């Protein structure tokens, strides 16, 4: 492509719509690229991670973009801007997008309208948008005469967006429960000491998980006993740029000199034992992914309430023989009633092992959607510092 002289407008290359057999393979390849782009966006925050690739009529990529977080251009707008900055007219192109283009006015304009105005000829998307506020983009595109294909690499799209999709579909955050135990399931020795059961590699990994979630929660008993900071720290001891909201559940107050009141994310104390209320309040604050780190009382309550979506079990080759266990009595009296999860991944971290397991059955009774899709909570919480 000839470079435009300085001070003059870049030449516009108009893509003329044609149908070629290679496009289907090109679309799949472009969707994999769009998914990889989306994964570069922040895993935390209220907005989904989205990537977009524009293809010319011969199936060749001409521009791409992804969403970099709330308040920044959406993936489709970023890809269109990238095309124009390169002197490529997007008319007649095919947009390959990981999530259905939005159809609502938020901090930015509707992506569906941007694609219509740009003159794209076709749109392929992986996942339809379940958000009732933003959904309807596919219908807008079709009404404008644009060919829309849904479900391209849908499984991969669902996996990438699982936290956000779960939160929007159920009205509550995706709950990940972290357990760090000995081989015999203990979280501390008989005298209460627990630092450290797992090794440095496992602890470093846990901090990278903290840096990816919206909020991290502990019970008030753990807050008083362990005095955690609940920060996300790098290997050298510094703080990650993103620090999750720190949540303490239970009626005991957080002491004025607690480490939880030091550097890190905001502190939210909810003197509440009703987990449905807790998850609803967090949903109102647009918490999509909640990490729960203890202690055993809170872990047991969450499991008994069947609101744990994913388990991170860090297991150390250590035997204690006595001391508190990671999970208390769940009321299971027969093996057929056991709480079962499906193993997703097993990773060795130094001498320790991390098993990631996910709920076997999907959520069948989602809560009413407490969260407004945009803005601050509609009602105040008990205490926020």
Q: Which of 74-88, 99-113, 250-264, 284-298 has the lowest mean pLDDT?
A: 99-113
* Topology match between the domains 16-160 and 173-384: no
Question: Which 3 state secondary structure label does DSSP give 283?
Answer: helix
pLDDT digits (tens, 9 = 90+) for 21-68: 334 899 999 999 999 999 999 999 999 999 999 999 999 999 999 999
- Look at the domain 173-384 and name its fold: Dihydrofolate Reductase, subunit A (3.40.430)
pLDDT digits (tens, 9 = 90+) for 81-104: 999 999 999 999 999 999 999 987
pLDDT digits (tens, 9 = 90+) for 150-186: 999 999 999 999 999 999 999 999 999 999 999 999 9
In the predicted structure, residue 12 carries a pLDDT above the cut 50: no
Set 64, 76, 100, 286: catalytic member: 76
Q: Has domain 16-160 been given CATH number 3.40.140.10?
A: yes
Instruction: Return the number of other C-beta atoms located less than 10 Å from residue 361's C-beta.
Output: 9
Instruction: Please indicate whether residue 76 is annotated as part of the active site.
Output: yes
pLDDT digits (tens, 9 = 90+) for 209-241: 999 999 999 999 999 989 999 999 999 999 999
Sorting pLDDT into bands at 50, 70 and 90, what band is 105?
Answer: confident
Residue bearing the bigger pLDDT, 16 or 309: 309
Question: Which 3 state secondary structure label does DSSP give 168?
Answer: helix
Secondary structure (DSSP) of 88-125: EE-TT-EEEEEEPPP-S-SSS--HHHHHHHHT--EEEE
CA-to-CA separations, 61 to 19, 30, 33, 64, in angstroms, rounded:
15, 7, 10, 8
HSE-CB at 259 with a 13 A cutoff on CA atoms is 10
In the predicted structure, residue 369 carries a pLDDT above the cut 50: no
Q: With pLDDT > 90 as the criterion, what percentage of the chain qualifies?
A: 79
Q: 279: which 2 tokens?
A: 């998850």
For residues 151 and 126, the answer to whether their CB atoms sit within 8 Å is yes
Where along the chain do its domains lie? Answer: 16-160, 173-384
Rounded to an integer, what distance in angstroms lies between the CA atom of residue 251 and that of residue 91? Answer: 60
Sorting pLDDT into bands at 50, 70 and 90, what band is 364?
Answer: low
Q: 45: which 2 tokens?
A: 């925050």
In the predicted structure, residue 264 carries a pLDDT above the cut 90: yes
Mean pLDDT value across residues 320-333: 94
What is this structure's pTM? 0.86
């Amino acid at each position: 492509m000839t470079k435009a002289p300085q001070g003059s407008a870049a030449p516009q290359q108009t893509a003329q719509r044609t149908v070629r057999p290679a496009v289907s393979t090109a679309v799949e390849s472009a969707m994999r690229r769009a998914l990889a782009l989306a994964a570069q966006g922040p895993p935390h925050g209220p907005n989904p991670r989205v990537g977009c690739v524009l293809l010319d009529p011969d199936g060749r990529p001409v521009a791409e973009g992804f969403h970099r977080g709330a308040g920044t251009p959406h993936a489709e707008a970023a890809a269109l801007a990238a095309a124009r900055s390169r002197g490529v007219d997007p008319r007649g192109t095919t947009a390959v997008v990981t999530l259905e283009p939005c159809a609502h006015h938020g901090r930015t304009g509707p992506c569906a309208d941007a694609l219509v105005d740009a003159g794209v000829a076709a749109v392929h998307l992986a996942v339809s948008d379940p958000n009732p506020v933003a959904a309807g983009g596919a219908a807008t595109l079709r009404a404008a005469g644009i060919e829309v294909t849904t479900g391209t690499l849908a499984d991969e799209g669902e996996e990438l967006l699982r936290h956000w999709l779960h939160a929007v579909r159920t009205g509550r955050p995706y709950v990940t429960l972290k357990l760090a135990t000995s081989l015999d399931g203990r979280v501390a020795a008989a005298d209460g000491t627990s630092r450290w059961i797992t090794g440095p590699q496992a602890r470093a990994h846990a901090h990278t998980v903290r840096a990816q979630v919206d909020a991290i929660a502990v019970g008030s008993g753990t807050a008083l006993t362990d005095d955690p900071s609940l920060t996300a720290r790098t290997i050298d001891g510094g703080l990650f740029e993103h620090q999750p909201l720190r949540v303490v559940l239970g009626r005991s107050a957080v002491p004025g000199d607690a480490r939880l009141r030091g550097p890190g994310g905001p502190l939210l104390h909810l003197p509440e034992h009703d987990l449905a209320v807790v998850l609803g309040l967090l949903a109102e604050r647009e918490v999509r992914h909640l990490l729960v780190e203890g202690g055993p009382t809170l872990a047991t309550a969450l499991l008994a309430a069947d609101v744990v979506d994913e388990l991170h079990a860090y297991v150390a080759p250590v035997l204690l023989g006595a001391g508190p266990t990671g999970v208390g009595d769940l009321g299971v009296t027969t093996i057929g009633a056991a709480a079962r999860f499906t193993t997703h991944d097993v990773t060795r971290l130094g001498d320790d092992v991390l098993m990631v397991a996910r709920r076997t059955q999907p959520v069948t009774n989602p809560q009413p959607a407490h969260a407004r899709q945009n803005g601050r909570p509609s009602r105040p919480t008990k205490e926020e510092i």
